[in-house]
Amino acid sequence: MSHEKYQSCIDACLECATLCDHCASECLKESDLPMLTRCIQLDRECAEMCFSAARIMTLGSEYAGDLCAVCADFCLRCAEECGKHSHMDHCRNCAETCLRCAEECQKMTGQPV
């Protein structure tokens, strides 16, 4: 499959990775760091997965749909954790972006959203 067919998902993954990295950085500045440990870890993992998925889609890989399914799972876990801290703008924005990315990734797999 040509990478152009993945463009919407590539864009969503890159945006998600950027906001996850931002969220992790902002969480590190918060006063209650122990409460945010899981959030930071999931932000970092989700960012890496999104960057990887975007790269695989850019290559037009026949396995892009498989990686998108895994990426959607990472995004949903990250969104759930960030949602627990939605009183902070960076976590709320990250959760929303992760959900949008999960939807785009799930479209690539043919699975229901």
Print the domain residue range for 102. Answer: 3-109
Indicate the number of domains in the chain: 1
pLDDT tens, residue by residue, 35-83: 999 999 999 999 999 999 999 999 989 999 999 999 999 999 999 999 9
Pairwise CA distance, residues 90 & 2, whole Å: 34
Buried b (16+ CB within 10 A) or exposed e, 40-77: bebbbebbebbbbbbebbeeebeebbebbbebbebbbb
Mean pLDDT, rounded, for 12-28: 98
CATH at 24: 1.20.1270.360
pLDDT value of position 1: 47
**pLDDT for the residue numbered 52:** 97
Is pLDDT at 15 greater than 90 in this prediction? Answer: yes
What string of DSSP letters covers the chain?
Answer: --GGGGHHHHHHHHHHHHHHHHHHHHHTTSS-GGGGHHHHHHHHHHHHHHHHHHHHHHTT-TTHHHHHHHHHHHHHHHHHHHHTTTTSHHHHHHHHHHHHHHHHHHHHHT---
Residues 6+ apart with CB under 8 A from 4: none
